[in-house]
Structure 1
Amino acid sequence: MSNIININFRTIESIGDLENVRRLESIIWSEYESTPIHQTLTAIKNGGIMLGAFIDEKIIGFQFSFPGFNGEKVYLCSHILGIHPEYRKLGIGEKLKRLQKEEALKKGYDLITWTYDPLETVNGNLNLHKLGARCNKYVENCYGEMQDELNEGMPSDRFTVEWWIKEEAVEKPNQYEFDNDSLVIKVVNDSKGYPVPLELDLIKNSESGFLFVPVPSDMQTLKKYSSELALSWRMSTGQVFTHYFQNGWTAIDLVKSQSNPALYLYVLGYVKA
């Protein structure tokens, strides 16, 4: 698959293409969870956006968004992004998000929001590190109990991210200044090399510099190794993110740990009210 270069990206509006999107959803997740055509069609006729990635005329990825309103502001709610299992790790997700930004600007949006699991570092790397979105809202068990392979057995906690698409991207340092005092979860690796969360630090009150929240580099592999350890990470990180978000901190980046290959680090910056 690495030699495939002829991937085309475009907006989707026809019923035939929308049915192909629904079928792709069924492959990625399940028939039960695929979005009905009448819903996607209505959304794109009323400010929503459906994007597709194609090889020839075969759809291999998609992104679906619809308008949102919080009582004060209209924004674009980015609902689902999916890639066919045979075509992942080709940068398709990032290209769909870049195209989403272009189409959203054409429609007059300046903000795109969406949710993702903060323990899925591939998503975090795309959303925060590459795109420049940020998050200061943690939602516990956002979607209730989910039965698909990625989410089964874990509370569906989520970040709600904001991508302000008219703002200039903030240039991030190649490497953050880091010491153990800025790590808010102490971690050790077990005998198999898997990270284990230990002491939580919820008393930092500095309003300068950065704080770092460690998360496992490969949550799905860790979950197969030990569901109890996976749940421990969910509970520990949930407590930490909730605390610091409520106290003025925002997740602005996700980077690999330089000292422990089993970890990624969320970078928190303090934002004055």
Structure 2
Amino acid sequence: MTPTPAGARIGGDLYRAEPEPAPDSGAFRDRATAAAVRAARAAHVEIRELHTPTEMSDVCELFGRIWRPDPTSPMMVPELMMALVHAGGYVAGSYEDDRLTGACVGLLATDGLHSHIAGVDVRSRGREVGHALKVHQRAWCLERGLTRISWTFDPLVGRNAFFNLAKLGAVPAEYLVDFYGRRTDAINAGDHTDRLLARWDLTTPRVALACEGIPQPADDAVAPGEEGVAIALEVGADGRPVLGRTDADVVVVRVPRDIEGLRRTDPDAVPPWRLAVREVLGGLMGEGRVVRGFGRLGGYVVDRRRDGG
């Protein structure tokens, strides 16, 4: 596999989900706010915007428990979050009673908001707290006239891909090679930090439905011999990547069900997966192919036709 320079961008602004004619802005914002209220209620949390140094310190402690970084390189610092909020950025937390269970931090960008970091306490996972935070973030942006949010995620982590692309309705726009460089936290240590840049166009019907609890998964089921569809990357019987065809109109790029578990049980399997996904998914995006989404069977669905049609 040909190495790609760190920091290289594979693909550019490849997928812009065009919204339908703008709905009544007040009604649309009200609908987004109502969706945020329902999402928080379903997760049994209260989402609060955060403003004080004490609240920022609590968020930093939460992120420290989640990522377990080197003490000399924390994930965030209170002073930076205070500055972000003062400059108009987004810092919010989810609370169960008075216990902080999750948090999300975003900064203003040229085309909307960039959501830099979000995390949920391990004790609260599986309860849709992350979904509630993102739906709140969407409503917050729409109230301020912002219509797009971006963020990065590890393309190897299937559960995050499903959350971002199916449960939220975001779309991948760029494959970023070793975006953060080498990290020392417990989650990323020893691995390349390849990331997908997700773009969330907040006014599209796809995103509105996802925020109202209707997931938007891609169909990644491939029947044997199905015409025009192929598996470009598959999980082998030994858990290692198996390269397939990339010349079909639609290709599926599968990733391990639990790469985090694989890092613990078979760390030697992770580098081949990192390079395989970079070569196949990153290569397809670099050709200008459209990622339709992520399916329930653990695969990215990529349309080789440049217009996706």
TM over 0.5: yes
- Unaligned 5+ segments in structure 2 are 1-41, 210-215
- Normalised TM-score (structure 2): 0.75
Contact 1:200 1:240 (C-alpha < 8 Å) held by counterparts: no
Q: Distance in 2 between matches of 1:186 and 1:22?
A: 38
Q: Distance in 1 between matches of 2:192 and 2:115?
A: 21
Q: Distance in 2 between matches of 1:133 and 1:27?
A: 27
Spell out the pairing of 1:27-38 with structure 2 (5 A cutoff).
27-29=65-67, 30=69, 31=71, 32-38=73-79
Deviation at 1:228, TM superposition (A): 2.1
Instruction: Say which of 299, 304, 308 aligns to 1:265.
Output: 299
Are 1:183 and 2:221 counterparts? no
2:106 partner SS: strand
Change (3 A) 1:226 1:199: same
Are 1:229 and 2:269 counterparts? yes
Deviation at 1:252, TM superposition (A): 2.7
Match of 2:49 in 1: 11
| Larger strand fraction of residues | 1
Match of 2:105 in 1: 64
Contact 1:115 1:158 (C-alpha < 8 Å) held by counterparts: yes
Q: Distance in 1 between matches of 2:217 and 2:121?
A: 33
Q: Distance in 1 between matches of 2:156 and 2:175?
A: 12
Q: Distance in 2 between matches of 1:116 and 1:5?
A: 23
Amino acid at match of 2:61: R
Change (3 A) 1:98 1:184: same
- Point out the more displaced range, 92-101 or 26-35: 26-35
- Unaligned 5+ segments in structure 1 are 258-263
Contact 1:133 1:252 (C-alpha < 8 Å) held by counterparts: no
Are 1:46 and 2:87 counterparts? yes
Instruction: Say which of 113, 117, 121 aligns to 1:84.
Output: 121
Deviation at 1:251, TM superposition (A): 2.2
Amino acid at match of 2:185: D
Amino acid at match of 1:272: D
Amino acid at match of 1:178: V
Change (3 A) 1:200 1:236: farther
Amino acid at match of 2:84: A
1:67 partner SS: strand
Q: Distance in 1 between matches of 2:127 and 2:151?
A: 22
Contact 2:254 2:299 (C-alpha < 8 Å) held by counterparts: yes
Deviation at 1:66, TM superposition (A): 0.4
> Any idea what the Cα deviations from partners look like across 1:113-170, whole Å, max 9, x if unmatched?
0000011112111100111101131111111111222212211111011000011117
Amino acid at match of 1:47: G
- Larger relative contact order (Cα-Cα within 8 Å, sequence gap ≥ 6): 2
- Aligned residue pairs total 252
Q: Distance in 2 between matches of 1:112 and 1:232?
A: 31
Match of 2:187 in 1: 150
